[in-house]
Amino acid sequence: MYSPEVLDHFEHPRNAGTVADPDASIQIENPACGDVLHLSLKLIDNRIGGIRFLARGCVCSVACGSALTELVLGKTVEQARGLKREELMQAVGGLPPASAHAVHLAMDALAAALDQIAGNHRI
């Protein structure tokens, strides 16, 4: 049912936890399913030098949070804003239609964190 990539990110999540002294820290909840994603990140030399996530929800929400951190680590805020939902979907090897909400949750969390950074740092 799940791709090998989804299972790998779920069983071995990358960058789980919280960033110490983050430049952005947000929590987004999907009201339809109740999944929650917390994302914290820190800029170092105008790049995402630290990013961590905590997820409470389905297998796919954990996998998408994990994959998202790998995709944006080391990128500038502008580059991270350019990440497409399709890229995240591809990084997890696709999702069943009923689980597509996990990609939206992760992307919404990223957008909120980047907006918070822009407000704090005038980027």
Calculate the average pLDDT of the chain. 94
Q: Which domain holds residue 62?
A: 4-121
How crowded is the C-beta side of 39, counted as CA atoms within 13 Å?
31
pLDDT in tens, 24-83: 999 999 888 899 999 999 999 989 999 999 999 999 999 999 999 999 999 999 999 999
CATH of the domain at 70: 3.90.1010.10
Domain count, the chain: 1
> Quick check: 88 and 106 in contact, CB under 8 A?
yes
The 3-state DSSP class for residue 53 equals strand
pTM, two decimal places? 0.93
- Residue 15 carries which DSSP code? S
